[in-house]
Structure 1
Amino acid sequence: MKVFDNTTKKLFLASWVSVNPAEGSELNVTAIQRDIPKYRCDIFRFLRQWLNNIQICDRKFARRICGLIPAQCPFEREIKLFGKTLFYIPPLCKLNPLYEELVSLRFRALCYLADECGEDITQYC
Structure 2
Amino acid sequence: MDFSNKPQVNNSLLNQLRNQLDVLEIRDDKLARLLCKIIPSHCPFERNISILGRTLFRIPPLCKLNPLYEQVVGLRFKCLIYLADECGEDVTKYC
TM range (shorter): 0.7 to 0.9
- Residue 62 (structure 1) aligned to one of 12, 28, 32: 32
Q: Which residue of 1 aligns with 2:75?
A: 105
Once the two structures are superposed, residues 52-72 of structure 1 have per-residue CA deviations (whole angstroms, 9 ceiling, x without a partner) of 122100000000110111000
Deviating beyond 6 angstroms after TM superposition, the runs of 4 or more aligned structure 1 residues are: none
Distance in 2 (CA, whole Å) between partners of 1:119 and 1:83 is 39
2:67 is the counterpart of 1:90? no
The residue type paired with residue 85 of structure 1 is: T
Structure 1: gaps spanning 5 or more residues: 1-40
Q: Which residue of 1 aligns with 2:42?
A: 72
TM-score where L is the length of structure 1: 0.66
- Map 1:13-28 onto structure 2 (within 5 A): none
Distance in 1 (CA, whole Å) between partners of 2:61 and 2:93 is 22
Q: Which residue of 2 aligns with 1:52?
A: 22
Distance in 2 (CA, whole Å) between partners of 1:72 and 1:46 is 25
- Count of paired positions: 86
Distance apart, 1:123 and its partner CA: 0.2
Distance apart, 1:49 and its partner CA: 1.1
The residue type paired with residue 47 of structure 2 is: R
The Cα RMSD (Å) is: 1.3
Distance apart, 1:46 and its partner CA: 1.1
Distance in 1 (CA, whole Å) between partners of 2:59 and 2:31 is 32
Q: Tell me the SS of whatever aligns to 1:79.
A: strand
